[in-house]
């Protein structure tokens, strides 16, 4: 509790907070992480199903996983942790959320400056001609998968698969926010997916205080983290908001 009060004081004094989030923040919204031993990923190896090579080779197989993931995402609602970040932005402390998640829950929680480092699930895109259309529930009724109206190729959600590059705009904005923040909150990420995992190291190099919330320790914990809170983001983030009020 003392450490949490200290973090709230630092946030109050310095402001300029940036949150860097991962799959853990959406667990309580009903979306499992890749690496936890839960549901979806016991049946679908992400290294196999989330690689662009697998999609291009066999879109029908990968769409079985995408369809299940999409149902979870369409049903999900922001967790108390997402809502707390929305509140922190409205209170003027949080300047940006850099997220590795594709579920759109930071937008739903009211955050305006959200950098989606790994793309988003709101659009379907053609890997060949790059035309886009909204990813709606109706798209899930098209079997074996939705197709591009121009070139007939299998559409994919506009998310970054392994083997694809990070959207340039997101990369530039994320680097800027990482350099300029005074406090970085690392929330619910294992810190093993690169280049995303470089972001907190940039903030540390530019002098930010690093606060981490996770159920378990990560590569950040013993290297750059100043304050580590072991537990759920939905417990700690609302507490920080309460202390700031
Ligand atoms: P990860 O699965 O590698 O790690 C998740 C981390 O969250 C773990 O360290 C775990 O201990 C922690 N965690 C779990 N529940 C938590 C909670 N309630 N509070 C705080 N921490 C909690 O996830 P990652 O680091 O984001 O990397 C996985 C990649 O998979 C990302 O690139 C992301 O794009 C993608 N992904 C996204 C979603 C989503 O959009 N919701 C879901 C699964 C995977």
Q: Report how far ligand 1's centroid is from the alpha carbon of 31 (Å).
A: 9
* Residue 228 domain boundaries: 1-30+77-118+166-245
Share of the chain above pLDDT 70, in %: 98
Neighbours of 182 (CB within 10 A): 18
N-terminal to C-terminal alpha carbon distance within the chain: 16
Claim to verify: residue 21 and residue 36 sit in the same structural domain: no
Claim to verify: residue 191 and residue 239 sit in the same structural domain: yes
State the pLDDT confidence band at 48, using cuts at 50, 70 and 90.
confident
Claim to verify: residue 235 and residue 143 sit in the same structural domain: no
State the pLDDT confidence band at 56, using cuts at 50, 70 and 90.
very high
Q: Which residue has the tokens 């009724």?
A: 141
* Contact (CB, 8 A) for 85 and 19: yes
Say which CATH number the domain at 127 has: 3.30.1600.10
Question: What CA–CA distances, in Å, run from 197 to 129, 190, 225, 244?
Answer: 30, 9, 13, 28
Claim to verify: residue 129 and residue 229 sit in the same structural domain: no
Q: Is the pLDDT of residue 1 over 80?
A: no
Tell me, yes or no, if 130 is annotated catalytic. Answer: no
Question: Region 150-157: what's the mean pLDDT?
Answer: 96
Say which CATH number the domain at 180 has: 3.40.50.1220
Residue 100 alpha carbon, nearest atom of ligand 1:
34
Q: Report how far ligand 1's centroid is from the alpha carbon of 152 (Å).
A: 33
What are the residue ranges of helices labelled H in the chain? 2-14, 40-43, 46-49, 52-57, 59-75, 80-90, 105-108, 168-180, 199-205, 233-244
Q: Which residue has the tokens 């667990």?
A: 27
From 134, 159, 184, the end of a domain falls on 159
The whole-angstrom separation of Cα 98 and Cα 25 is 12
Claim to verify: residue 220 and residue 107 sit in the same structural domain: yes
Residue pLDDT, tens place only, 118-153: 999 999 999 999 999 999 999 999 999 999 999 999
Claim to verify: residue 38 and residue 112 sit in the same structural domain: no
pTM over 0.85: yes
Claim to verify: residue 181 and residue 206 sit in the same structural domain: yes
Claim to verify: residue 205 and residue 229 sit in the same structural domain: yes
The whole-angstrom separation of Cα 146 and Cα 224 is 44
> Residue 122 gets which letter from DSSP?
E
Domains identified in the chain, total number = 2
State the pLDDT confidence band at 45, using cuts at 50, 70 and 90.
confident
Claim to verify: residue 153 and residue 231 sit in the same structural domain: no
């Amino acid at each position: 509790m003392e450490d949490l009060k200290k973090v709230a004081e630092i946030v109050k004094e310095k402001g300029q907070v940036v949150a860097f989030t991962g799959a853990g923040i959406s667990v309580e919204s009903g979306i499992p992480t890749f690496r936890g031993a839960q549901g979806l990923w016991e049946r679908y190896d992400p290294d196999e199903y989330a690689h662009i090579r697998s999609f291009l080779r066999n879109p029908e197989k990968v769409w079985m996983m995408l369809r299940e993931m999409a149902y979870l995402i369409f049903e999900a609602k922001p967790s108390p942790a997402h809502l707390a970040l929305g509140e922190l932005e409205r209170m003027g402390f949080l300047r940006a959320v850099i997220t590795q998640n594709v579920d759109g829950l930071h937008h739903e929680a009211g955050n305006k400056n959200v950098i989606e480092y790994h793309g988003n699930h709101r659009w379907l895109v053609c890997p060949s001609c790059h035309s886009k259309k909204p990813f709606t529930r109706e798209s899930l009724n098209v079997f074996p998968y939705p197709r591009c109206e121009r070139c007939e190729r299998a559409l994919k959600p506009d998310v970054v698969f392994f083997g694809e590059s990070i959207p340039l705009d997101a990369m530039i904005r994320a680097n800027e926010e990482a350099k300029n923040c005074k406090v970085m909150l690392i929330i619910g990420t294992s810190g093993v997916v690169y280049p995303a995992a470089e972001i907190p190291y940039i903030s540390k190099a530019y002098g930010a205080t690093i606060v981490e919330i996770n159920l378990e320790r990560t590569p950040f914990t013993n290297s750059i983290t100043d304050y580590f809170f072991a537990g759920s983001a939905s417990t700690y983030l609302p507490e920080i908001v309460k202390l700031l009020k």
